[in-house]
Structure 1
Amino acid sequence: MFQGDETLVGEGPILLTYGSGIANIQLNSPSTGNGFDVPLMKVFHDVIMQVHGDNRVRAVILSGNGKIFTGGGNVKDFASKGEELPHYLRMATSYLQICVAALVNLEVPVVTRVHGFAAGGAGMGLVCSSDIVVCGDSTRFMAGATRVGMAPDGGATATLSKIIGFRRAMDLVLTNRIVDAAEAERIGLVTKTVPDSELDDVVLDYARMLAAGAPKALSAAKRLMWNGLSRGFEAALPDEARETAALSGTQDSMEGLSAVIEKRAPKFRNA
């Protein structure tokens, strides 16, 4: 997997490397199945903010270390809280909401690499808050929350039905059935399913393509698309018009037009 040539966070539950305009954020708690607990989520948010403040970054790869992407919440950590669990989960769910919102609000595209298994609020929340999702053909997905007597979180109650449709989302949330990679692509839960052996290459190709794009245009497109999930058609039109007009005055826009006319690859400079 792409690790970059510069290590920004080299130890702990979340790793961060950078190279060639791409930041790789990697979940790094394989012994818990990359299970989400409060300490991990605090670091996760800090790392996302570090990426947000790095003007070199043009695209992000989100991945998981170990056998699976994430199994959701760290159930052993949750069970250890005993009677204090409700108080702990109020904090945990709030941190998860902050993390998925931070991914959505990153100005650069997020390409998420899913392998093995993605489950629970963390699994579904991260998948649904990513811009591009690529999974290996052996990957499985499960909502999982109601199976342990809880409700979906990680923003999935707002995003999942918009992405795959209300009836499909209700089915996954209530039944907790396993969704294989082929179905995940068919219903739109992921962008693309590829052979496991090709997963790294396809994810990196996506990230490189996005990193070579016009940064301001990609940022505006991402923001408009996410805003459109929660706003009606009519409300979205003024934003589209405003962003398009503003972008047309950038050097990158002029370069893009010239490249099309001259039949060459554009050289975007984030200007």
Structure 2
Amino acid sequence: MELQKLIYTVEDGIAVVTMNYMKNLNAIDEQMADELMYVVDKAEHDPDVRVLVIKGAEKAFSAGGDIGYFYKLIQAGGEVNMDGLISKVGSVADGLKKMSKIVITSVSGAAAGAGVSLAIGGDFMICADNAKFILAFVNLGLVPDTGATYLLTRLIGPNRTMELAATGRPVGAEEAKALGLAYKVTTVEELDSVTMAFAKKIAAGPLLSYKNIKKQIYDAMYVDYKKWLDETEVPTQRECSASMDFQEGCKAFMEKRKAIFQGK
């Protein structure tokens, strides 16, 4: 596959995936999802890859969904059907947890919507002190996707997950660390060097041990992950994305005004 929105490199046993489409702040559209599925599978099956690093840009890790695309579709009177996209990002989310290799996410700037899900979807998250995590779905009349609700419920509990999902309030880097979501917080300037130093340490470690630790954790905590993604996340997002509230939320976001939701 020719990558247009990602950069994929492998050096010294470390595969680095850089989301590289700042035109829309690394929004995860279907093309980005296709490319992410491809590189996750490629890294998993490449014997030269010992650890996977996923990163964005200094300004933004990922803004989540491409709201501008949905806005244009709504304005043109088209139907918004997210099933294909949600299924693809679900495959990415499950693939990262099921992967036999350690996954490190390196986060700078904004991680919003599905960007949060991707950031917390690895095994270790290292973030810059300017990182900001926003479950912005509710502001658009949607539900979290890319596994966010499933992961957060297990990581921080149902009450805190409800708070973050229902309010959409920003979570800074230090709070993310206090919640146990971030492994380490560093400066923007040192993020790459700190991330790569840790990746090199993992790459030099006992890979068979890592593989089986991940398998134990997956079977203990995530064995029904893909089933939940397919049978709960897809249909709940389908109902929300077909609503008038989503259309209003999307229009309000693009028109920079407060949304008026009606529960329809």
**1 CA distance for matches of 2:120 and 2:103?**
11
Aligned runs of 1:174-189 on 2, under 5 Å?
A: 174-189=166-181
User: Which entry has the higher C-alpha Rg, 1 or 2?
Assistant: 1
- 1:96 is aligned to 89
Residue 117 in structure 1 maps to residue 110 in structure 2? yes
Which residues of structure 1 form unaligned runs of 5+? 1-7, 232-271
State the SS of the aligned residue for 2:15. Answer: strand
What letter is aligned with 1:157?
T
- 2:136 is aligned to 144
Instruction: List per-residue Cα deviations over 1:55-96 (Å, max 9, x = no partner).
Output: 111001100135200010011112222254432x11111111
**Aligned 8 A contact 1:78 1:85 in 2:** no
Q: 2:188 aligns with which of 189, 196, 200?
A: 196
**Aligned 8 A contact 2:107 2:128 in 1:** yes
- 1:71 is aligned to 63
C-alpha deviation, 1:181, in angstroms: 0.8
**Aligned 8 A contact 1:128 1:163 in 2:** no
- 1:210 is aligned to 202
Which residues of structure 2 form unaligned runs of 5+? 224-264
**Aligned 8 A contact 1:33 1:66 in 2:** no
- 1:239 is aligned to none
**Aligned 8 A contact 1:60 1:110 in 2:** yes
**Aligned 8 A contact 1:127 1:190 in 2:** no
What letter is aligned with 2:41?
M
**2 CA distance for matches of 1:225 and 1:22?**
22
- 1:31 is aligned to 23
What letter is aligned with 2:80?
P
Instruction: List per-residue Cα deviations over 1:6-27 (Å, max 9, x = no partner).
Output: xx97x51011001000000111
Root-mean-square deviation (CA), in Å? 1.8
- Structure with higher RCO (Cα < 8 A, 6+ apart): 2
C-alpha deviation, 1:110, in angstroms: 0.5
**Aligned 8 A contact 2:174 2:185 in 1:** yes
**2 CA distance for matches of 1:223 and 1:80?**
43
**2 CA distance for matches of 1:44 and 1:198?**
25
Cα distance change on mapping 1:85 and 1:119 into 2, 3 Å: farther
**Aligned 8 A contact 2:132 2:171 in 1:** yes
Aligned runs of 1:3-82 on 2, under 5 Å?
A: 11-65=3-57, 67-82=59-74
Residue 86 in structure 1 maps to residue 43 in structure 2? no
Cα distance change on mapping 1:85 and 1:154 into 2, 3 Å: farther
TM-score (norm 2): 0.80
What letter is aligned with 1:97?
G
**1 CA distance for matches of 2:79 and 2:219?**
34
- 1:261 is aligned to none
